[in-house]
Amino acid sequence: MSVRKRTLLAATAGAAMLFALSGCAAPGSDADPATASGPVTLTFWHAMTGPAATELDTLVSQFNAQEAGKITVDASFQGSYADVQTKYTAAVQSNSTPDVLMMNDISTGFMVDSKKTVPLSTFTDKDSSFDADSFPPIVSSYYAAASGGLAAMPFSVSQPVLYLNRSLVTQAGLNPDTPPTTLAEVADWAEKIHASTGAYGMTMNMSDSWMLEEMSASGGENFCTPENGRGSDKVTGLDLTTPTQVAFMGQLQKLFSDGTALNPGTDNSAMVSAFASNKVGIMLTSSGAYTTADPSKTASKVSAFPKTSNSKDAGVVVGGNALWISGDGHSEAQQQAAYEFLTYLHSADVQAEWSSATGYLASNTGAADTTAGKQSLSDPNVAAMADQLANTPASQAAAGCRTGAFPTVRATVIGAFNQIVEGADVTSTMKDAESKAADQIAAYNTAAG
Protein backbone atom coordinates (compact mmCIF):
# COMPACT_ATOMS: atom_id res chain seq x y z
CA MET A 1 0.00 0.00 0.00
CA SER A 2 1.54 3.33 -1.05
CA VAL A 3 1.99 6.20 1.40
CA ARG A 4 -0.57 8.22 -0.54
CA LYS A 5 -3.07 5.42 -0.34
CA ARG A 6 -2.48 4.97 3.36
CA THR A 7 -2.92 8.68 3.96
CA LEU A 8 -6.13 8.70 1.98
CA LEU A 9 -7.34 5.65 3.86
CA ALA A 10 -6.53 7.19 7.21
CA ALA A 11 -8.23 10.42 6.23
CA THR A 12 -11.30 8.54 5.04
CA ALA A 13 -11.45 6.49 8.21
CA GLY A 14 -11.05 9.67 10.27
CA ALA A 15 -13.79 11.39 8.35
CA ALA A 16 -15.96 8.30 8.72
CA MET A 17 -15.54 8.41 12.47
CA LEU A 18 -16.34 12.11 12.60
CA PHE A 19 -19.45 11.64 10.52
CA ALA A 20 -20.55 8.59 12.43
CA LEU A 21 -20.02 10.12 15.80
CA SER A 22 -21.09 13.69 15.37
CA GLY A 23 -24.51 14.10 16.89
CA CYS A 24 -23.94 11.64 19.71
CA ALA A 25 -22.51 14.00 22.29
CA ALA A 26 -24.79 16.00 24.53
CA PRO A 27 -24.30 19.75 24.78
CA GLY A 28 -23.81 21.29 28.17
CA SER A 29 -23.54 24.63 29.90
CA ASP A 30 -22.15 25.66 33.22
CA ALA A 31 -24.46 28.21 34.74
CA ASP A 32 -24.46 28.12 38.48
CA PRO A 33 -27.70 28.76 40.35
CA ALA A 34 -26.95 31.73 42.57
CA THR A 35 -27.61 31.64 46.25
CA ALA A 36 -30.06 34.44 46.63
CA SER A 37 -29.54 37.42 48.84
CA GLY A 38 -30.82 40.71 47.58
CA PRO A 39 -32.22 40.92 44.04
CA VAL A 40 -33.03 37.54 42.54
CA THR A 41 -32.18 36.84 38.92
CA LEU A 42 -34.23 34.13 37.24
CA THR A 43 -33.26 32.28 34.09
CA PHE A 44 -36.27 31.49 31.94
CA TRP A 45 -36.09 29.21 28.90
CA HIS A 46 -38.84 29.41 26.32
CA ALA A 47 -39.69 28.20 22.82
CA MET A 48 -41.70 31.13 21.46
CA THR A 49 -41.02 32.60 18.02
CA GLY A 50 -42.50 35.40 15.91
CA PRO A 51 -45.18 37.65 17.43
CA ALA A 52 -45.41 35.41 20.51
CA ALA A 53 -41.69 35.91 21.24
CA THR A 54 -42.04 39.69 20.92
CA GLU A 55 -45.07 39.71 23.22
CA LEU A 56 -43.34 37.47 25.76
CA ASP A 57 -40.35 39.82 25.86
CA THR A 58 -42.74 42.71 26.47
CA LEU A 59 -44.41 40.84 29.35
CA VAL A 60 -41.03 39.98 30.87
CA SER A 61 -39.93 43.64 30.66
CA GLN A 62 -43.18 44.74 32.32
CA PHE A 63 -42.62 42.24 35.12
CA ASN A 64 -39.00 43.31 35.56
CA ALA A 65 -40.05 46.95 35.76
CA GLN A 66 -42.76 46.12 38.28
CA GLU A 67 -40.34 44.11 40.42
CA ALA A 68 -37.35 46.41 39.93
CA GLY A 69 -34.71 45.84 42.61
CA LYS A 70 -36.31 42.58 43.70
CA ILE A 71 -36.59 40.15 40.75
CA THR A 72 -35.04 40.20 37.29
CA VAL A 73 -36.17 37.61 34.77
CA ASP A 74 -33.63 36.75 32.09
CA ALA A 75 -35.66 35.16 29.28
CA SER A 76 -33.92 33.22 26.53
CA PHE A 77 -35.23 31.47 23.44
CA GLN A 78 -33.95 27.89 23.23
CA GLY A 79 -35.42 26.63 19.95
CA SER A 80 -38.36 24.33 19.31
CA TYR A 81 -40.01 22.41 22.14
CA ALA A 82 -37.96 19.35 21.12
CA ASP A 83 -34.81 21.50 21.34
CA VAL A 84 -35.87 22.78 24.74
CA GLN A 85 -36.33 19.23 25.98
CA THR A 86 -32.94 18.17 24.57
CA LYS A 87 -31.22 21.17 26.19
CA TYR A 88 -33.08 20.57 29.42
CA THR A 89 -31.86 16.96 29.60
CA ALA A 90 -28.31 18.23 29.02
CA ALA A 91 -28.82 20.88 31.70
CA VAL A 92 -29.97 18.21 34.16
CA GLN A 93 -26.72 16.32 33.51
CA SER A 94 -24.61 19.42 34.15
CA ASN A 95 -26.73 20.77 37.04
CA SER A 96 -27.55 23.95 35.17
CA THR A 97 -31.32 23.85 34.78
CA PRO A 98 -33.11 27.20 34.34
CA ASP A 99 -35.22 28.56 37.20
CA VAL A 100 -38.32 28.59 35.00
CA LEU A 101 -38.84 26.32 32.03
CA MET A 102 -41.51 26.48 29.35
CA MET A 103 -42.46 23.00 28.15
CA ASN A 104 -45.13 21.91 25.72
CA ASP A 105 -48.25 19.91 26.49
CA ILE A 106 -47.10 16.40 25.61
CA SER A 107 -43.85 16.66 27.56
CA THR A 108 -45.84 17.02 30.79
CA GLY A 109 -45.35 13.31 31.55
CA PHE A 110 -41.60 13.63 31.04
CA MET A 111 -41.42 16.69 33.30
CA VAL A 112 -43.32 14.91 36.05
CA ASP A 113 -41.08 11.84 35.72
CA SER A 114 -37.96 14.00 35.77
CA LYS A 115 -38.66 14.90 39.42
CA LYS A 116 -36.51 17.99 38.94
CA THR A 117 -39.31 20.50 39.38
CA VAL A 118 -41.47 21.60 42.30
CA PRO A 119 -45.21 21.07 41.73
CA LEU A 120 -47.00 24.38 41.42
CA SER A 121 -49.42 23.24 44.14
CA THR A 122 -46.56 23.47 46.68
CA PHE A 123 -46.72 27.25 46.23
CA THR A 124 -50.43 27.71 45.59
CA ASP A 125 -51.30 25.79 48.76
CA LYS A 126 -49.52 28.49 50.77
CA ASP A 127 -50.93 31.38 48.74
CA SER A 128 -54.41 32.35 49.90
CA SER A 129 -54.74 34.94 47.11
CA PHE A 130 -54.40 32.30 44.43
CA ASP A 131 -57.68 31.29 42.79
CA ALA A 132 -57.53 27.64 41.78
CA ASP A 133 -60.84 28.03 39.95
CA SER A 134 -59.46 30.64 37.58
CA PHE A 135 -58.60 27.93 35.02
CA PRO A 136 -61.00 26.32 32.56
CA PRO A 137 -61.69 22.87 34.12
CA ILE A 138 -60.10 20.93 31.26
CA VAL A 139 -56.88 22.94 31.63
CA SER A 140 -56.69 22.12 35.34
CA SER A 141 -57.20 18.45 34.68
CA TYR A 142 -54.57 18.39 31.90
CA TYR A 143 -51.83 19.76 34.17
CA ALA A 144 -53.08 18.12 37.37
CA ALA A 145 -50.43 16.93 39.84
CA ALA A 146 -50.72 13.42 41.27
CA SER A 147 -50.76 14.95 44.76
CA GLY A 148 -53.66 17.25 43.87
CA GLY A 149 -53.53 20.79 42.51
CA LEU A 150 -51.40 21.67 39.53
CA ALA A 151 -48.00 20.31 38.50
CA ALA A 152 -47.15 23.38 36.43
CA MET A 153 -48.61 26.76 35.55
CA PRO A 154 -50.63 26.53 32.31
CA PHE A 155 -49.53 29.51 30.21
CA SER A 156 -50.44 29.15 26.54
CA VAL A 157 -53.61 27.18 25.89
CA SER A 158 -54.85 25.98 22.53
CA GLN A 159 -57.34 23.44 21.26
CA PRO A 160 -57.97 21.98 17.84
CA VAL A 161 -60.87 23.60 16.00
CA LEU A 162 -62.57 23.37 12.63
CA TYR A 163 -61.91 26.11 10.08
CA LEU A 164 -64.21 26.61 7.10
CA ASN A 165 -63.11 28.59 4.06
CA ARG A 166 -66.25 30.71 3.54
CA SER A 167 -65.67 31.25 -0.14
CA LEU A 168 -65.17 27.56 -1.07
CA VAL A 169 -67.96 26.37 1.22
CA THR A 170 -70.40 28.85 -0.30
CA GLN A 171 -69.35 27.90 -3.84
CA ALA A 172 -70.21 24.29 -2.98
CA GLY A 173 -73.73 25.38 -2.06
CA LEU A 174 -73.21 24.89 1.69
CA ASN A 175 -73.90 27.36 4.47
CA PRO A 176 -70.76 28.18 6.51
CA ASP A 177 -72.93 29.45 9.37
CA THR A 178 -74.34 25.97 10.04
CA PRO A 179 -70.99 24.15 10.20
CA PRO A 180 -70.65 20.36 10.35
CA THR A 181 -70.46 19.02 13.90
CA THR A 182 -69.46 15.39 13.35
CA LEU A 183 -66.59 13.87 11.39
CA ALA A 184 -69.12 12.11 9.13
CA GLU A 185 -70.60 15.51 8.24
CA VAL A 186 -67.12 16.95 7.70
CA ALA A 187 -66.41 14.08 5.27
CA ASP A 188 -69.67 14.74 3.46
CA TRP A 189 -68.93 18.48 3.16
CA ALA A 190 -65.36 17.80 2.04
CA GLU A 191 -66.57 15.52 -0.77
CA LYS A 192 -69.05 18.18 -1.91
CA ILE A 193 -66.48 20.99 -1.81
CA HIS A 194 -63.95 18.88 -3.71
CA ALA A 195 -66.51 17.83 -6.33
CA SER A 196 -67.93 21.28 -7.00
CA THR A 197 -64.85 23.51 -6.69
CA GLY A 198 -61.92 21.24 -7.57
CA ALA A 199 -60.12 22.47 -4.44
CA TYR A 200 -59.21 20.02 -1.69
CA GLY A 201 -62.18 19.30 0.56
CA MET A 202 -60.26 19.13 3.81
CA THR A 203 -56.87 18.91 5.47
CA MET A 204 -55.43 18.33 8.93
CA ASN A 205 -52.07 18.09 10.69
CA MET A 206 -50.17 14.98 9.66
CA SER A 207 -46.75 15.73 11.16
CA ASP A 208 -47.54 13.57 14.18
CA SER A 209 -50.48 11.66 15.63
CA TRP A 210 -52.01 14.72 17.33
CA MET A 211 -55.18 14.74 15.19
CA LEU A 212 -55.78 11.04 15.88
CA GLU A 213 -55.43 11.71 19.61
CA GLU A 214 -57.95 14.54 19.34
CA MET A 215 -60.40 12.44 17.31
CA SER A 216 -60.14 9.68 19.91
CA ALA A 217 -60.92 12.23 22.63
CA SER A 218 -63.73 13.76 20.60
CA GLY A 219 -65.27 10.29 20.53
CA GLY A 220 -64.86 9.91 24.30
CA GLU A 221 -62.11 7.31 23.86
CA ASN A 222 -58.88 7.12 25.84
CA PHE A 223 -55.74 7.14 23.71
CA CYS A 224 -53.53 5.47 26.31
CA THR A 225 -54.10 2.56 28.60
CA PRO A 226 -54.72 2.28 31.49
CA GLU A 227 -56.96 5.29 32.04
CA ASN A 228 -54.93 7.68 29.87
CA GLY A 229 -52.30 7.64 32.62
CA ARG A 230 -54.68 9.70 34.75
CA GLY A 231 -55.29 7.02 37.36
CA SER A 232 -52.79 5.57 39.82
CA ASP A 233 -50.93 3.44 37.26
CA LYS A 234 -48.42 4.47 34.65
CA VAL A 235 -49.34 4.21 30.98
CA THR A 236 -48.22 0.89 29.48
CA GLY A 237 -49.77 1.02 26.02
CA LEU A 238 -51.93 2.78 23.48
CA ASP A 239 -55.53 2.17 22.50
CA LEU A 240 -55.80 2.58 18.74
CA THR A 241 -58.33 -0.02 17.68
CA THR A 242 -61.61 0.68 19.44
CA PRO A 243 -64.65 0.61 17.10
CA THR A 244 -64.85 4.43 17.21
CA GLN A 245 -61.17 4.78 16.29
CA VAL A 246 -61.30 2.21 13.50
CA ALA A 247 -64.39 3.95 12.13
CA PHE A 248 -62.90 7.46 12.02
CA MET A 249 -59.60 6.22 10.62
CA GLY A 250 -61.56 4.47 7.90
CA GLN A 251 -63.36 7.73 7.08
CA LEU A 252 -60.06 9.59 6.90
CA GLN A 253 -58.48 6.81 4.81
CA LYS A 254 -61.21 7.24 2.21
CA LEU A 255 -60.83 11.05 2.13
CA PHE A 256 -57.06 10.88 1.66
CA SER A 257 -57.01 8.01 -0.81
CA ASP A 258 -59.61 9.46 -3.19
CA GLY A 259 -57.83 12.85 -3.28
CA THR A 260 -60.51 14.74 -1.37
CA ALA A 261 -58.18 15.51 1.52
CA LEU A 262 -54.81 17.27 1.27
CA ASN A 263 -52.00 15.42 3.07
CA PRO A 264 -49.59 18.21 4.14
CA GLY A 265 -46.95 15.77 5.40
CA THR A 266 -44.66 17.31 8.01
CA ASP A 267 -45.15 20.86 6.76
CA ASN A 268 -47.87 22.39 8.94
CA SER A 269 -47.21 25.93 7.74
CA ALA A 270 -47.73 24.82 4.12
CA MET A 271 -51.10 23.41 5.20
CA VAL A 272 -52.18 26.70 6.76
CA SER A 273 -51.02 28.70 3.74
CA ALA A 274 -52.91 26.32 1.43
CA PHE A 275 -56.06 27.04 3.44
CA ALA A 276 -55.41 30.79 3.44
CA SER A 277 -54.95 30.77 -0.34
CA ASN A 278 -58.28 29.03 -1.03
CA LYS A 279 -56.80 25.64 -1.89
CA VAL A 280 -58.66 23.80 0.91
CA GLY A 281 -62.26 24.08 2.09
CA ILE A 282 -62.04 22.67 5.65
CA MET A 283 -59.01 22.59 7.94
CA LEU A 284 -58.72 20.80 11.26
CA THR A 285 -55.90 22.33 13.23
CA SER A 286 -54.93 24.35 16.29
CA SER A 287 -56.83 27.44 17.39
CA GLY A 288 -53.36 28.98 17.46
CA ALA A 289 -53.24 28.95 13.64
CA TYR A 290 -56.10 31.46 13.40
CA THR A 291 -54.09 34.61 12.75
CA THR A 292 -52.10 33.01 9.89
CA ALA A 293 -55.02 31.02 8.48
CA ASP A 294 -57.26 34.06 8.27
CA PRO A 295 -55.42 37.38 8.70
CA SER A 296 -58.59 39.32 7.74
CA LYS A 297 -60.63 37.41 10.37
CA THR A 298 -63.58 37.37 7.98
CA ALA A 299 -62.60 34.84 5.30
CA SER A 300 -63.15 31.86 7.58
CA LYS A 301 -65.70 30.46 9.95
CA VAL A 302 -64.28 28.78 13.05
CA SER A 303 -66.34 26.21 14.93
CA ALA A 304 -65.95 23.35 17.38
CA PHE A 305 -63.81 20.35 16.49
CA PRO A 306 -66.04 17.59 15.02
CA LYS A 307 -67.22 14.75 17.23
CA THR A 308 -66.45 11.16 16.28
CA SER A 309 -69.15 9.70 18.55
CA ASN A 310 -71.93 11.04 20.74
CA SER A 311 -70.34 9.90 23.99
CA LYS A 312 -70.89 12.27 26.93
CA ASP A 313 -67.14 12.08 27.63
CA ALA A 314 -66.35 13.51 24.20
CA GLY A 315 -64.21 16.65 24.19
CA VAL A 316 -60.88 17.79 22.84
CA VAL A 317 -57.57 17.78 24.66
CA VAL A 318 -55.81 21.09 25.30
CA GLY A 319 -52.42 21.84 23.82
CA GLY A 320 -49.95 24.66 24.27
CA ASN A 321 -47.41 24.99 27.02
CA ALA A 322 -46.96 25.35 30.74
CA LEU A 323 -44.28 26.87 32.99
CA TRP A 324 -42.29 24.71 35.40
CA ILE A 325 -40.38 25.80 38.50
CA SER A 326 -37.05 24.03 39.02
CA GLY A 327 -36.38 22.43 42.38
CA ASP A 328 -32.95 20.78 42.80
CA GLY A 329 -30.11 23.33 42.88
CA HIS A 330 -32.40 26.35 43.10
CA SER A 331 -32.74 28.29 46.33
CA GLU A 332 -36.07 28.82 48.05
CA ALA A 333 -35.85 32.53 47.22
CA GLN A 334 -35.42 31.70 43.55
CA GLN A 335 -38.33 29.28 43.62
CA GLN A 336 -40.56 31.81 45.34
CA ALA A 337 -39.53 34.53 42.86
CA ALA A 338 -40.27 32.11 40.02
CA TYR A 339 -43.73 31.53 41.49
CA GLU A 340 -44.36 35.26 41.57
CA PHE A 341 -43.36 35.53 37.92
CA LEU A 342 -45.78 32.71 37.05
CA THR A 343 -48.70 34.24 38.93
CA TYR A 344 -48.02 37.50 37.09
CA LEU A 345 -48.19 35.66 33.74
CA HIS A 346 -51.42 33.98 34.84
CA SER A 347 -53.15 37.23 35.86
CA ALA A 348 -56.33 38.05 33.93
CA ASP A 349 -54.90 41.16 32.26
CA VAL A 350 -51.70 39.47 31.13
CA GLN A 351 -53.60 36.44 29.83
CA ALA A 352 -55.99 38.69 27.89
CA GLU A 353 -53.05 40.56 26.38
CA TRP A 354 -51.16 37.32 25.64
CA SER A 355 -54.24 35.80 24.04
CA SER A 356 -55.00 38.72 21.76
CA ALA A 357 -51.36 39.06 20.67
CA THR A 358 -50.74 35.39 19.96
CA GLY A 359 -54.03 33.64 19.22
CA TYR A 360 -53.65 31.34 22.23
CA LEU A 361 -56.74 30.96 24.39
CA ALA A 362 -56.70 32.60 27.79
CA SER A 363 -55.83 30.17 30.61
CA ASN A 364 -57.50 32.51 33.08
CA THR A 365 -61.29 32.63 32.79
CA GLY A 366 -61.21 36.15 34.24
CA ALA A 367 -59.50 37.39 31.06
CA ALA A 368 -62.91 37.49 29.36
CA ASP A 369 -63.95 40.37 31.64
CA THR A 370 -60.95 42.56 30.88
CA THR A 371 -61.01 45.24 28.18
CA ALA A 372 -58.57 43.36 25.96
CA GLY A 373 -60.46 40.13 26.55
CA LYS A 374 -63.82 41.66 25.63
CA GLN A 375 -62.35 43.07 22.47
CA SER A 376 -60.90 39.67 21.43
CA LEU A 377 -64.18 37.92 22.13
CA SER A 378 -66.12 40.33 19.95
CA ASP A 379 -64.73 38.29 17.04
CA PRO A 380 -67.25 35.39 16.68
CA ASN A 381 -64.43 33.04 15.64
CA VAL A 382 -62.50 33.72 18.85
CA ALA A 383 -65.74 33.41 20.82
CA ALA A 384 -66.33 29.98 19.24
CA MET A 385 -62.90 28.84 20.40
CA ALA A 386 -63.49 30.16 23.91
CA ASP A 387 -66.89 28.42 24.03
CA GLN A 388 -65.38 25.11 23.06
CA LEU A 389 -62.71 25.44 25.77
CA ALA A 390 -65.24 26.38 28.43
CA ASN A 391 -67.61 23.56 27.44
CA THR A 392 -65.07 20.74 27.25
CA PRO A 393 -66.01 18.15 29.91
CA ALA A 394 -63.26 17.30 32.39
CA SER A 395 -63.48 13.63 31.36
CA GLN A 396 -60.56 11.23 31.30
CA ALA A 397 -60.72 11.12 27.50
CA ALA A 398 -60.63 14.90 27.16
CA ALA A 399 -57.91 15.24 29.81
CA GLY A 400 -55.70 13.40 27.35
CA CYS A 401 -52.94 10.86 27.75
CA ARG A 402 -49.99 11.50 30.03
CA THR A 403 -46.82 9.48 29.52
CA GLY A 404 -43.23 10.58 29.26
CA ALA A 405 -42.95 8.34 26.20
CA PHE A 406 -45.53 10.44 24.34
CA PRO A 407 -43.15 12.23 21.95
CA THR A 408 -41.65 8.88 20.94
CA VAL A 409 -44.88 6.97 20.39
CA ARG A 410 -46.36 9.81 18.35
CA ALA A 411 -43.87 9.08 15.58
CA THR A 412 -44.86 5.41 15.65
CA VAL A 413 -48.57 6.15 15.37
CA ILE A 414 -48.28 8.68 12.55
CA GLY A 415 -46.00 6.24 10.68
CA ALA A 416 -48.73 3.61 10.88
CA PHE A 417 -51.39 6.11 9.90
CA ASN A 418 -49.39 7.11 6.82
CA GLN A 419 -49.58 3.46 5.75
CA ILE A 420 -53.34 3.51 6.31
CA VAL A 421 -53.64 6.67 4.21
CA GLU A 422 -51.99 4.73 1.38
CA GLY A 423 -54.43 1.87 1.69
CA ALA A 424 -53.19 -0.43 4.47
CA ASP A 425 -55.77 -2.23 6.61
CA VAL A 426 -56.78 -0.02 9.54
CA THR A 427 -57.15 -2.60 12.29
CA SER A 428 -54.07 -4.73 11.60
CA THR A 429 -51.82 -1.72 10.97
CA MET A 430 -52.90 -0.06 14.20
CA LYS A 431 -52.55 -3.37 16.10
CA ASP A 432 -48.91 -3.42 14.97
CA ALA A 433 -48.50 0.19 16.08
CA GLU A 434 -50.03 -0.67 19.48
CA SER A 435 -47.51 -3.43 19.94
CA LYS A 436 -44.52 -1.30 18.90
CA ALA A 437 -45.68 1.58 21.08
CA ALA A 438 -46.06 -0.77 24.06
CA ASP A 439 -42.38 -1.76 23.63
CA GLN A 440 -41.34 1.90 23.42
CA ILE A 441 -43.37 2.80 26.50
CA ALA A 442 -41.92 -0.15 28.42
CA ALA A 443 -38.39 0.99 27.48
CA TYR A 444 -39.21 4.52 28.62
CA ASN A 445 -40.73 3.34 31.89
CA THR A 446 -37.59 1.30 32.59
CA ALA A 447 -35.39 4.33 31.85
CA ALA A 448 -37.57 6.54 34.05
CA GLY A 449 -37.11 4.04 36.88
Partner 1 sequence: MSASTTAERRVAVGQRRAPSAQSWLRSDRRVGVALLAPAFAAFAVFVFYPLGKVIWLSTQGTDIFGQAAGFVGAKNFVTIFTDPQFGATMLRTGAFCLAVVAGRIVLGLLITIPLTTKLRGIPVFRALLTSPMVVSVSAASVAFAAMLAPGNGLVNSVITRFGGSAIPFLTSTQWAFASVIVVTVWGSIGFTVLLMLGAFGAIDHDVVEAAHLDGAGPFRTLWSISLPLVTPTLFFIVVTGAVEGLTTFGQIQILTGGGPANSTTTLVYNIYQSAFGAGSANFGLAAALGVVLFLLVLALSLVQFGVLEKRVNY
The 8-class DSSP code of residue 220 comes to: T
Cβ neighbours for 358, distance < 8 A, ≥ 6 positions apart: 51, 52, 55, 156, 288, 291
Cβ neighbours for 202, distance < 8 A, ≥ 6 positions apart: 186, 187, 189, 190, 193, 255, 260, 261, 262, 280, 281, 282, 283, 284
Residue type (1 letter), 54: T
**Looking at beta carbons only, is 81 or 123 nearer to partner 1?**
81
Give yes or no for a contact between 81 and 87, defined as CB atoms under 8 angstroms apart.
no
**Looking at beta carbons only, is 16 or 68 nearer to partner 1?**
16
First to last CA, the chain: 52
Give the C-alpha separation, 406 to 437, whole Å.
9
The 8-class DSSP code of residue 227 comes to: G
CB of residue 406 to partner 1, shortest distance in Å: 8
**Looking at beta carbons only, is 68 or 442 nearer to partner 1?**
442
CB of residue 238 to partner 1, shortest distance in Å: 16
Residue type (1 letter), 267: D
**Looking at beta carbons only, is 282 or 397 nearer to partner 1?**
282
CB of residue 408 to partner 1, shortest distance in Å: 5
**Looking at beta carbons only, is 16 or 146 nearer to partner 1?**
16
Give yes or no for a contact between 226 and 445, defined as CB atoms under 8 angstroms apart.
no
Contact residues: partner 1, CB under 8 A: 3, 5-10, 12-21, 23-26, 82, 85-86, 89-90, 92-93, 107, 110, 113-114, 200, 203, 206-207, 259, 262-267, 270-271, 273-274, 277, 279-280, 404, 406-408, 410-411, 414-416, 418-419, 421-422, 443-444, 446-449
CB of residue 17 to partner 1, shortest distance in Å: 5
- How many other CB atoms are there within 10 angstroms of residue 265's CB atom? 11
**Looking at beta carbons only, is 9 or 132 nearer to partner 1?**
9
CB of residue 97 to partner 1, shortest distance in Å: 10
Give yes or no for a contact between 409 and 322, defined as CB atoms under 8 angstroms apart.
no
Give the C-alpha separation, 40 to 35, whole Å.
9
CB of residue 204 to partner 1, shortest distance in Å: 12
**Looking at beta carbons only, is 324 or 406 nearer to partner 1?**
406
The 8-class DSSP code of residue 150 comes to: B
CB of residue 161 to partner 1, shortest distance in Å: 19
